[in-house]
Amino acid sequence: MGARGGRRGAAVVSRSTVIVATVSALAFAACFTDEAPEQTTTPITGASSSSSSSGESMMTTSLFEGSTDVTGTQGTTAESTTEDPTEDPTTGGDPVYSCPESPDLVLCYEFETGWSDSSLLDTSDSLYHGFMVGVAQVPGHSGSAALLDEASTVFAPYDEQIFQRLLNEFTVAAWIHPSAEGLSGTRGIVERDGNIRLALVGGGESYELSCDSPGAGTVLSASSLKPGAWVHAACVYDGESLSLWVDGVLSTQIAGKIAVIGDDSLRIGNDGPAVGAASAFVGLIDEVQIWELALTGQALCGAAGIAGCS
């Protein structure tokens, strides 16, 4: 595994130490493999967030003061959490990491570790960590995934140095497994208010995917999708156009220019700035990746696990 294995080992085995040491350098992303294990429908139990705004305020203050104390905001797991941070309690084995080692990968959230202290851990070189509240760990597309409901909160505070990298080009991608209970209205998947939003648009028994930005407009998937299956969604901006890719295939594209970065937090599974049950994603999210370039069609079909792609 080389340098990549050594860096990940330090991030996983010394999770609490890394979070304290990288208070001012937060970041996200996630990865893709071509085969999904059979899913569980284990419900979220235990902690949940009754007030997203107050919870976020407390956690952000704690983070910037250099503290790892997130008392009262712990996430939950589908099974009891082990004290060994290298073991995945959902599979009984080691965490599964598949994000590539690339200087262009800005953020990578793989949801493999961090569950015992409600930490959203970034496994890219940015180490831009955040928080998870009212989220359960379950078997995912690769390794473990985050199971979210209407009370879940997953976010990372704004960092100018991180998000300025996304001004000229970017790719926002994730594996999602929506629940049939959350197919009404617009549900945020990966979002920064006023800048970019990858979302699910529910239609009752089916859904579409959308990607929008105030500068470039909105792209909507060309066909409807059914819940209960893993889907790879990617929003790509190349400086001149905004496109939506579904399972490695280009769905729609429009011309547009994005000139707004904003100073909002990054959210996974909801919309900002006022989050709520009506805009909450219900289901599983895994392997969230954010790149500072527009990935090519070959790269995106490879990420979606299509044979013959790289």
Give domain status of residue 40, yes or no.
Answer: no
Quick one: which H or E segment has residue 174? strand 170-178
Structure tokens at 257: 């220019």
Asked if 133 and 118 touch (Cβ cutoff 8 Å), the reply is: yes
Q: Rounded to an integer, what distance in angstroms lies between the CA atom of residue 6 and that of residue 14?
A: 12
Residues 129-172 have pLDDT tens digits of: 999 999 999 999 999 999 999 999 999 999 999 999 998 999 99
Task: Give 146's Cβ-side CA count (13 Å radius).
Answer: 34
Residues 211-259 have pLDDT tens digits of: 999 878 999 999 999 999 999 999 999 999 999 999 999 999 999 999 8
Task: Report the number of secondary-structure helices (H) and strands (E) in the chain.
Answer: 5, 17
Asked if 230 and 141 touch (Cβ cutoff 8 Å), the reply is: yes
What is the arithmetic mean of pLDDT over 273-299? 94
Give domain status of residue 46, yes or no.
Answer: no
């284990």: which residue's tokens? Answer: 42
Give domain status of residue 181, yes or no.
Answer: yes
Give domain status of residue 45, yes or no.
Answer: no
Find the domain containing 81 and state its range.
2-33+54-303
Residues 60-74 have pLDDT tens digits of: 434 433 333 322 233
pLDDT number for residue 194: 84
Give domain status of residue 160, yes or no.
Answer: yes
Q: What is the DSSP string of 246-284?
A: ETTEEEEEEE-------SPPEEESS-SSS--GGG---EE
Give the largest CA-CA distance in the chain: 50
**pLDDT at 298 > cutoff 60:** yes
Asked if 119 and 19 touch (Cβ cutoff 8 Å), the reply is: yes
Structure tokens at 288: 């969230």
Backbone angles phi, psi at 9, to 5 degrees: -60, -40
Distance from chain centroid for Cα 56: 17
pLDDT number for residue 235: 97
Structure tokens at 99: 């994000």
pLDDT number for residue 275: 87
pLDDT number for residue 93: 60
**pLDDT at 1 > cutoff 60:** no
Asked if 289 and 105 touch (Cβ cutoff 8 Å), the reply is: yes
Residue 254 belongs to a domain with what CATH number? 2.60.120.200
Count of domains forming the chain? 1
Strands 144-148 and 153-156: unpaired
Give domain status of residue 271, yes or no.
Answer: yes
Quick one: which H or E segment has residue 160? helix 160-163
Give domain status of residue 310, yes or no.
Answer: no
Please enumerate in sequence order all residues whose Cβ is within 8 A of that of 198, keeping only pairs 6 or more positions apart, or say none: 172, 174, 188, 189, 190, 191, 209, 210, 211, 233, 234, 235
Give domain status of residue 48, yes or no.
Answer: no
